[in-house]
Amino acid sequence: MQFARIVRAAAVAALAATSIVAAQAQTLAGDEIDAGVFRTVDTGDGVGRILGSGLDGPFTVENRFGDAKTFSNLFVLNVDALSFEVDFLSGGSFQEGLVLRLTDFDFLEIPFPVYLAELALIQSNLVGYFTVTHTADSIEVQWGGTSFNEDTYLKVFFPPSPVPAIPEPETWALMVAGLASVGATALRRRRS
């Protein structure tokens, strides 16, 4: 009777812990990030942030709805809690060395720091070769040499937060067997 009560209490505590951990998904909602288009190769226009056409500084990511920012007449950048999307507005192409850089990710709504370890998924129909790279708190799209039209898009999903994994059934079975063994041993000692 006592053993069954201990096993039930342990199972309830384990389920409660895993549901709390699973609920702490990372998000950018409420985070102030910086977005900009940069030249990394001098093609006669200098190197660094391209100013005066949008994406000129930090902005706060809106909760669930995103924050659309327009870069000149080329594209709209929409960053939401778990992804960002670039929707192109017209046709054209990018010179070599042109990058879109998003920085200062904090993932505010979880109680411990999260680092951007990997990107979960990238979807795009950009024509040409582009790369998406990242650091612990930034993402850079290197898209020099690509071309686009009004139907072109690029969408990058952030990975799920690195929370502890929920134990698999085999692990649960081993844990229950261990608890049963401890309970049986305690019961034998009490009887003798």
Summarised one tens digit per residue, pLDDT across range 157-192 is 876 655 455 666 777 777 777 777 777 787 777 777
The verdict on 20 and 103 lying in the same domain is no
Are 54 and 69 a contacting pair, CB within 8 Å?
Answer: yes
> What was the pLDDT predicted at 66?
67
42 with 73, same domain: the answer is yes
Residues 142 and 184 in one domain: no
Shared domain for 39 and 134, answered yes or no, is yes
Q: Which domain holds residue 170?
A: 2-24+165-191
Report CA-CA distances (Å) from 88 to 16, 72, 125. Answer: 45, 11, 11
Kindly state whether residues 143 and 174 are assigned to the same domain: no
φ/ψ (deg, to 5) at 14? -65, -45
Identify the pLDDT of residue 17. 46
Secondary structure element (H or E) that encloses residue 125, with its range? none
Residue 20 and residue 36 share a domain: no
- Residues 86, 45 share a domain: yes
Do 98 and 47 lie in one domain? The reply is yes
Instruction: Quote the pLDDT of residue 21.
Output: 42
10 in the same domain as 41: no
**Residues in the chain with pLDDT values less than 70:** 1-27, 63-66, 107-118, 159-168
Q: Is 135 found in the same domain as 61?
A: yes
| 166 exposure class (CB count in 10 Å sphere: 0-12, 13-18, 19+) | middle
Task: Please check whether residues 183 and 125 belong to one and the same domain.
Answer: no
| 8 lies in the same domain as 82 | no
Output the furthest CA–CA distance in the chain (Å, rounded): 91
Q: How many domains does the chain have?
A: 2
